Structure 1
């Protein structure tokens, strides 16, 4: 029974520690002070952000308002002269976030397809270990950098922000939360065993 409780508490500690990030207070360029707060963990996916219209902030209980297309346009920093459809944003997300770029070889070009085999974009070798990502209208939307003979990759948008990668990272705040959660569970188990 103790092992079940211990496992359950460790799992809850892990899940809650990876879902959010604490942001210290700071001043914006215009002098406005932003209070310390929590935000969703950055993962390159705009649809699970607490500020995405319709999503709920678990700390405030408020539902984010706004237009999803406007949110995505600002998220991807796309300011078109004419209207951009929601399918364009789906393609950006699909190409930049959900594509596995493992195994790209220099000198080759690739067509990106969705699960239903429809084309979502293209990848073309650019220079050395760098590839350019294009949407279905051949608009350049990002870069892929490969390492370790194509086994590791990093995806960046046009502004140089890393969107996703498959490289191994240690999130020290998660490690600390797991350690503290484990220590707390150990103390609880020890306290209840007497």
Structure 2
């Protein structure tokens, strides 16, 4: 086979030179117009789903939160792989799509699936949220807050309303998520006697 190629090249020099010249021009054109990136994005379009499940063990999070979300998104159009991680009180699901898909369309598909599965999750579980659109080369920094005299409720309030805005205003920060602590709630208790006295119904209060 090799002898035939050499024999053909020796007896058809013009054809070989013309083919070499065409390949040279094509190579130069490709080299000039090829995009160059110091840190190219090597990961497929991926949508990250994060769900907070306060008070649940890792096994409960996997069975009651992670598994239903995986089942809901696994059959979506363009999904090639679904991975997950379940820890105490927190669930993360990575949904990888095919290379030729649009990341914004992928996020819309996942959002529609989450709207359906959110109704079947336990009432104590937070609403599943989508992670930011960032590269796999990004870095994650984990910071813990501790105090001797401050309660968990006050620590979570400080983290939500003081630390989070400052971190998000820093350049290069894509998202800030919190895990743990007690979330402050405002409850409105209705007095049927006063409502009847002033002629106010429940619908009007709502």
TM-score (norm 2): 0.21
TM-score with structure 1 setting the length: 0.22
**Higher helix proportion:** 2
Structure with the bigger percentage of strand: 1
Higher relative contact order (CA 8 A, sep 6+): 2
